[in-house]
Amino acid sequence: MTQVPPQTVPQTPAEPPEPVARGSGVGARIRNWFLTGVVVAGPLAVTAYIVWWFVDTIDNWVRGLIPGNALPDAYLSFRVPGLGVVVAFLALTFLGFLAHNLAGRTLIKIGEAILARMPIVRSIYKSVKQIFETLFSQSGTTFRKVGLIEFPNKGSWSLVFISAPPGELIGSRLAQDENYVSVFLPCTPNPTTGFYFYLPAREVIEVAIAPDAAAKLIMSCGVIQPDARAVVAALARNPEHETA
């Protein structure tokens, strides 16, 4: 018998290998990874730097007032960070405790009477005291409300912090048929500078945004928008607020 040679099965050509990622693709990935690292590490680094600067500054102030043998550094081989912050916190808390007592209020009045006899110092002290009492008052509403006004021209709206109504001296010079409020319009990106002026209350639209959220919005040039949940929570706490 004649053997039939086995039939050869035609082989399909192998698929070409996938091309290696181009240099631009690898570079784009490295760039994205780098930017992601910056986004993750940047806020942590800045926060750590600010906290460390604050703690170090308070420590240096307080350590200059404490005798060297009373510091733990005299008995340890390393410096204890944050000691000045703790001492300052305890000292301010104790001072506030004394200010709520009769003896403490008497001592404060005596100290203020002494400062009132100093021509230049009394003006500085009174101004700074009024600012601190206004900003840190628990019952005041100064700079605790945010509003919108048309500035710098018609149709352009800017965020402002609503302050106290004008006093009697200034209010008597304004229109008597209007209710005025004073507002502070901060500049971007430095909210510590800006414009302070009086406006009719009807021209100020109050918005349910926390002052710190408004400050972030201004400093970031609109990048950090207020959280909607925070606005709802603010409305729940203060239902009398009018939203824009």
Indicate whether 4 pLDDT > 50.
Answer: no
Length of the chain: 244
- Report the alpha-carbon distance of residue 214 to residue 79 in Å, rounded: 39
Least confident of 1-5, 23-27, 116-120: 1-5
Tell me what pLDDT residue 134 has. Answer: 64
**Percent of the chain at pLDDT above 90?**
1
**Cis upstream peptide for 152 (omega within 30°):** yes
For residues 162-190, average pLDDT:
85
- Amino acid of residue 240: E
Tracing tokens 């043998």 back to the chain, one arrives at 69
Cα three-residue angle 103-105-111, rounded to 5 degrees: 105
Say if residue 208 is exposed, middle or buried (CB neighbours under 10 Å; 0-12, 13-18, 19+).
buried
- Report the alpha-carbon distance of residue 129 to residue 51 in Å, rounded: 26
- pLDDT tens for 38-78 read 888 988 998 899 889 988 888 888 877 777 777 777 777 77
* Sheet with 205-207, side-by-side order of all strands: 194-200, 180-186, 157-162, 145-150, 205-207
Tell me what pLDDT residue 236 has. Answer: 58
Q: What is the dihedral of CA 51, 56, 59, 60, to 10 degrees?
A: -150
Is residue 173 within 8 Å of residue 159, measured between CB atoms?
A: no
Indicate whether 1 pLDDT > 50.
Answer: no
Cα three-residue angle 48-50-51, rounded to 5 degrees: 65
Indicate whether 22 pLDDT > 50.
Answer: no
Residue 63 CB coordination number (10 Å): 17
Is residue 213 within 8 Å of residue 226, measured between CB atoms?
A: yes
Written as six digits, the tokens of 215 are: 């400050």
For residues 226-231, average pLDDT:
65
* Three-state DSSP class for residue 8: coil
DSSP state for residue 199 in the 8-state scheme: E
Written as six digits, the tokens of 99 are: 């200010």
Q: What is the mean pLDDT of the chain?
A: 78
- Report the alpha-carbon distance of residue 61 to residue 32 in Å, rounded: 43
- Report the alpha-carbon distance of residue 96 to residue 90 in Å, rounded: 10
